[in-house]
A = this chain, B = another copy of it.
Amino acid sequence: MNPEPVEIAEHRRLVMSLATASATVTLPLDQCLGLVTAEPVTTRLEVPPFTNSAMDGFAVRFEDVSTATPQAPVRLPVSGDIPAGSPASSPLEPGAAQRIMTGARMPAGADTVVKVEDTDHRPGQAQVPSAVTIFHTPQAGINVRYHGEDLGVGETVLDAGTVLDGPALAAAASAGHGTLEVHPALRVGVISTGSELADAGAGLSAGHIPDSNGILLAGLVTAAGAQVAEQARVPDEPALLREVIAGWDVDLVITAGGISAGAYEVVRQGLPELTFHKVAQQPGGPQGAGVVGSTPVLALPGNPVSVYVSFHVYASLLIATMRGLAVEGRFGRPTVRATAGSGWHSPAAKTQFMPIRWDGDVVVVPTHRLGSKSHLVATLPLVQGLAVVPAGVDRVDPGDSLEVLVTRGGAL
């Protein structure tokens, strides 16, 4: 281990050097939810694809109804009926109306739709009438949606690097796409290490603790938009660790534990091709990263709060990049400013990531009276962000302005 700590930026560079680009794939829309576009998506169709009615009512020529009032209504013969999905069988002749449903294609010759409520026709299921009485002059051209008025052909609907959520996929569908070129789902293997780890809920032998890192990492990886493709718990047996990783077909392995200064460090001993160093941060000082075989491996320290901090400072950035997202800033997303609601000590030589919760709209306080100690797993659900106290600062006083990396929920 390098005795001099390295800077956060240096470790971040090492981590980001692991980001490999998988070949992109073409997938049907219904397999794309949560994936990321590999190229811009442009309209192949106009949206809407044809001029259609915005209302259930009657398609007319405005000039034929421009004098209608309740006192002097206009009566027109009804020469057709246009359900959505069925084009008009004939153009609209002057002096007539055609019944038309919302979303149905406007007949040639019509320029305005009178909604059914402004006529003598009954809303809802009814036979098409032979004539219709119109009681109000509509605005010319009203209740008509023009082809291409949302977007024309060749316009950008989604940029490359967009997460495909419901609205994005709906837009792609409307723009004429049945498949999209996307980055494949990122398959991550998660390993918690340590001979002290026992099954959650099992009786504990002396010196054992429940494994919480495995499920913590699985949850964080899922929330980061990747897939937990493999998961294992490995005791302090370096050969077993190598064997587990060699048997997996994943894009990235994240381990927790076994990389510190002890005599039994399973990750350090089992994966000697990684780079291990101490980073000038607290918690989460020990860090490792590298490639085993052809698989990128991120080796996080083993204390749960260190896992949480390391995940948000390094792993989420790597995962986002490997998913195809353009990451911005040091943490891959914006930080916010907040005011310290209480004071605490910070190690002057290191950047401190203090787990905080919001106390009102702009004030944050440490989640636990013991501050940034890395074993405080039972209070991890209270953490809403990490206050980033820079190196050179040895204490935070109430009222100090802080940079906060928001990790969940928090101030809206």
Contact = CB atoms under 8 A, between A and B. Distances in A.
Given A103-B302, A174-B212, A50 B207 contact: yes
A264 B84 contact: yes
A320 to B, nearest CB: 14
Contacts of A137: none
Contacts of A268: 124-125
A174 B210 contact: yes
Contacts of A28: 201
A230 interface: no
Total copies of this chain within the assembly: 2
Contact of A145 (B128, B145, B375): B375
A377 B220 contact: no
A151 B201 CA distance: 17
A64 interface: no
A392 interface: no
A47 interface: yes
Interface stretch (A14-22, A246-254, A345-353, A378-386): A378-386
A123 B264 CA distance: 10
A102 interface: yes
Given A33-B218, A123-B261, A218-B33, A84 B308 contact: no
A177 interface: yes
Contact of A173 (B149, B200, B375): B200
Contact of A265 (B124, B150, B157, B308): B124
Contacts of A381: 157-158, 162, 165, 167-168, 171
B236 A85 contact: yes
Interface SS of chain A: helix, strand, loop or mixed? loop
A290 B338 CA distance: 46
Interface in A7-38: 28-30, 33-34
B1 A265 contact: no
Contact of A125 (B56, B115, B124, B263): B263
Given A33-B222, A194-B103, A380-B170, A176 B151 contact: no
Interface string A357-388: 00000000000101001111111110100000
A45 interface: yes
A278 to B, nearest CB: 10
A220 to B, nearest CB: 5
Contacts of A263: 56, 81, 83, 99, 101, 124-126, 128
A101 to B, nearest CB: 4
22 contacts: A1-B124, A3-B117, A29-B200, A33-B215, A45-B204, A55-B261, A83-B262, A85-B195, A101-B263, A102-B260, A103-B209, A103-B303, A123-B262, A124-B262, A125-B264, A150-B377, A150-B379, A151-B379, A165-B219, A166-B215, A171-B212, A171-B381
